[in-house]
A and B are shown apart, each in its own frame.
Chain A
Amino acid sequence: GQQLNQSPQSMFIQEGEDVSMNCTSSSIFNTWLWYKQDPGEGPVLLIALYKAGELTSNGRLTAQFGITRKDSFLNISASIPSDVGIYFCAGQLGHTGNQFYFGTGTSLTVIP
């Protein structure tokens, strides 16, 4: 299957700090999705990106579709304790109708 490399694998930050994480691939993707997963629950969709260069916000979250179409970035501003969880990216290859491939996740811990 396709490799989606997420980094960092884990982050420990102080409450109030900003967070940046990214997802990269050697292949071109035409859609990027970002999810958050809490322990014992299913992933929850945060942001969907459909065009290269697209920048989309959802509250304190901002995600960007990389201009090369091989990467995507997620930023969280002014982190709060409820931001704790695992963040996954998912990408759909450059041909429509292909399945989505998922990254292995970034684990975020927010220290109050």
Chain B
Amino acid sequence: DAGITQSPRHKVTETGTPVTLRCHQTENHRYMYWYRQDPGHGLRLIHYSYGVKDTDKGEVSDGYSVSRSKTEDFLLTLESATSSQTSVYFCAISLGLDYEQYFGPGTRLTVT
């Protein structure tokens, strides 16, 4: 198994509150990604990082921000959570954009 952990694994929060999800890897992979998974949709890319302090937007980035201050950690922040952000969030890592991605165990977020 790829050395990827996500925390927390489950979180319930109220609308309007800030939330930060953490992804930690021990593989020293350059690229890290945040996806959300919703019924009826495939995994959809929120943001990705190609190095420390280097990030870019994915197809569903509105309402999310990310930060990467160390190679091993990639944080996803919901500045003001909304019910539409209730989802399962997955972190992934890869050696490069053209390489296969390995996923973490996921964080189930519920916004009430």
Q: Does residue B98 face the partner (Cβ distance < 8 Å to A)?
A: yes
Which chain B positions have C-beta within 8 A of A35?
A: 103
> How many residues of B are counted as interface, with CB atoms below 8 angstroms from the partner's CB atoms?
21
Q: Does residue B59 face the partner (Cβ distance < 8 Å to A)?
A: yes
Which chain A positions have C-beta within 8 A of B4?
A: 42
**Chain B interfacial positions (CB closer than 8 Å to A):** 4, 35, 40-45, 48, 58-59, 90, 97-98, 100-106
Which chain A positions have C-beta within 8 A of B100?
A: 33, 45, 48
Which chain B positions have C-beta within 8 A of A11?
A: none
Taking CB atoms and an 8 Å cut-off, the chain A residues in 1-19 that contact chain B are: 1, 4
Q: Find the B residue at minimum CB distance from A4.
A: B42
Q: Does residue A104 face the partner (Cβ distance < 8 Å to B)?
A: yes
Q: Does residue A96 face the partner (Cβ distance < 8 Å to B)?
A: yes
**Chain A interfacial positions (CB closer than 8 Å to B):** 1, 4, 30-31, 33, 35, 40-45, 48, 88, 90, 92, 96-105
Which chain A positions have C-beta within 8 A of B58?
A: 99
Which chain B positions have C-beta within 8 A of A102?
A: 35, 42-44
Which chain A positions have C-beta within 8 A of B44?
A: 1, 102
Instruction: Given A31-B98, A101-B42, decide whether A42 and B48 contact each other with a Cβ distance below 8 A.
Output: no
B72 CB to nearest chain A CB (Å): 17
**CA of A31 to CA of B100, assembled, Å:** 9
**CA of A43 to CA of B45, assembled, Å:** 14
**CA of A82 to CA of B35, assembled, Å:** 26
**CA of A22 to CA of B103, assembled, Å:** 22
Q: Is there an interface contact between B106 and A42, defined as CB atoms closer than 8 Å?
A: yes
Which chain B positions have C-beta within 8 A of A103?
A: 42
In the assembled complex, 11 residue pairs joining A and B whose CB atoms fall closer than 8 Å, in A order, are A1-B59, A40-B106, A42-B105, A45-B100, A48-B100, A88-B42, A99-B48, A102-B35, A102-B43, A102-B44, A104-B42
